[in-house]
Structure 1
Amino acid sequence: MSILEPLAARYATWLRLPAEATNDTGDEDPALVRAMPIVLRVERDPQPARTPLLEAAAAASIAVCLDERAEPEGPWHEEVDVWVRGRIRKVSRRARGAHWEAVQDLPGITVTVDGAQARALVPGLVVESPKVLSRLQISGSELPADEPGPVEPGVPVLWLNPGVPMTVGKAAAQVGHATMLLAALLHASGGGADLKSWSTAGFPCAVRTPTPDRWRALHPAEDPDTAWHTHGTTAVRDAGFTEVAPGTVTVIAQWPR
């Protein structure tokens, strides 16, 4: 059984929720909130390019979930499994120099794309974040838009909503959600061979911002199951705790056909 099975099972329900219901935490105890930390390496000079940094974050997020250490007998399994069964929150932080080197000792996976580096850590209780992590800043650094080249054939594309500005930290969390959804739906729909090939390659993906017209064409307005089986697209819908309104579709992930 894939550790992402619970995510696939509730995906369609989540997309159909009224916008105001997406950030309804009910009686959630703040002491029990879990999140996957994503640490973005942002040196002063040279700064990484925005697109490869987001691509690294997206690949690292799913790599942690599908690592052998997250399997039932592995040391990461319990933390990853409990987190996936709830809200798949992610918190992006930035680090440089010695602080970046320090987080390499925390359990997780670092991915490098065109020189840009991101490390996704094993999820856990936010209130129990180690000091080496909690002292890192969540916001305060932004990267300029870049102009990435053509998408390589056979690579899934994570399309950012062109009408929703996001900081690099917010976008990193959203593309991380997107790769998790792609993997979960591939597994649930019998695409195990594709998932294995993607994993073997290191989960490469392309992050791009479409034109508004292209976004409207990509957006799976129909039933989410139909969108996936017909077009190979899945939507990331945000709960709206930070930066965007509840129910906003932030990313359309498209599996290559």
Structure 2
Amino acid sequence: MTTPGFLDAGFIDAGFIERHAALAEHCHPRARHIDRPDPDDPAEVQAMQMVLHIPRADPPPRHEILAAAAASAIAVCLHPDTGLGGPWHDPLHAWMGARIRKVARRARGTAWDAAQSVPGVTSTAGTAHARALVPGRIGDLDPRIKKLQISGTDIPPEPEATKRLGPSQPVLAINTALGMTVGKAAAQAGHASMLLGATLTAEQAWEWARRDYGCTIIEAGPARWAELLEAARAGQGIVVRDAGFTEIAPGSATVIAHWGR
């Protein structure tokens, strides 16, 4: 859900333009080529925690989980509280100015309910819910989040022919050859939504925000992935490459984001 009064049809909020400009400054693919070394103290590392609601019985399909995760990440970055003087401004900018890390955790029941009290944004896609939290130092991680499992139950990918929802929203293609867990893929989808958002004009980002940052997830097999990678090289998509801290090799291409076509 969007914040009342935040997105009104017919004009773009000036604060939104400023927040989008900050996102573009820090997260445009060209900006991310700048090396950002980690601090010597691991507790000082900045990360965005992402909480995926995965009930034990009847969990949502993987593509809906990833779509919710992608929406929640960009929603935090462009939330009114991240504006200059807002309570989320400094922690968000400290994180965007460092190596952008996301850590996906799973929750259910009371643990999921408790996570709603930690500052962040919950997004919904179909039957799935994901909450991206305001980034911060690993050493300051809220106990309610710290106890949530990072690994555990995985949700297998659906066939490559996952339904598309039309050309009015982004498509995030997941590289199936990497065999990423749902948590890893959720973090990568969150990266993709931010990188894509940073390349849009303020007007385009505003329209996307009015649709709660909806996106379509496809699981791209080798043939489809090769096509998308070639299109991205021609400027028709954004490639997310992982730093290789977990699961996969550094530099692996994990997601390709493009506007629906």
TM-score (structure 1 length as normaliser): 0.87
The correspondence of residues 1-257 of structure 1 with structure 2, limited to 5 A, is 1=18, 2-4=21-23, 5-8=25-28, 10-11=30-31, 13=33, 25=37, 28-147=40-159, 148-186=162-200, 191-219=201-229, 227=235, 231=236, 233-256=237-260
**8 Å Cα contact 2:92/2:135 also seen in 1:** yes
> CA distance change for structure 1 residues 70 and 222 in 2, over 3 Å: closer, same or farther?
closer
Shift of 1:215: 1.1
Is the contact between residue 177 and residue 221 of structure 2 (CA under 8 Å) also seen in structure 1?
Answer: no
Cα distance per residue 1:54-89 (max 9 Å; x no partner): 100000000000011111121100000110111110
Rounded to whole Å, the distance in 1 between the matches of 2:39 and 2:115 is: 32
Q: Secondary structure at the match of 2:178?
A: coil
Contact 1:220 1:234 in 2 (8 A): no
Distance 1:94 1:156, change over 3 A: same
Question: Which letter does structure 1 place at the counterpart of 2:140?
Answer: E
8 A Cα contact 1:220 1:235, kept in partner: no
Q: Which moved more, 1:76-85 or 1:150-159?
A: 150-159
Distance 1:61 1:82 in 2: 16
User: In 1, Cα distance between the equivalents of 2:41 and 2:134?
Assistant: 21
Distance 2:197 2:104 in 1: 21
Q: Give the letter aligned to residue 219 of structure 2.
A: T
**Secondary structure at the counterpart of residue 43 of structure 2:** helix
CA-CA distance at 1:211 after TM superposition: 3.1
Following the alignment from structure 1 to structure 2, what is the Cα–Cα distance between the partners of residues 12 and 217?
A: 24
Identity of aligned residues (%): 44
Name the residue aligned to 1:18. none
The whole-number CA distance in structure 2 between the counterparts of 1:222 and 1:170 is: 22
Q: Which amino acid aligns with 1:37?
A: Q
TM superposition shift of 1:152? 2.5
Name the CA shift for 1:143/1:9 in 2 (closer, same or farther; >3 Å): closer
Deviation sequence 1:119-169 (CA, Å, 0-9, x none): 000000011101111000000110122353233331110011121110000
Q: Which runs of 5+ in 1 are unaligned?
A: 15-21
AA paired with 2:212?
A: G
Distance across 1 between alignment mates of 2:260 and 2:158: 23
Note the C-alpha offset of 1:222: 7.5
> Given residue 223 of structure 2, which amino acid in structure 1 is its aligned partner?
D
Runs of 4+ in 1 over 6 A off after TM superposition: none
Q: Secondary structure at the match of 1:219?
A: helix
Is the Cα contact below 8 Å between 2:164 and 2:216 reproduced in 1?
Answer: no
The answer (yes or no) to whether the contact 1:3–1:71 under 8 Å persists in 2 is: no
Normalising to structure 2: TM-score of the pair? 0.86
Q: 1:71 to 1:27 in 2, by over 3 A?
A: closer
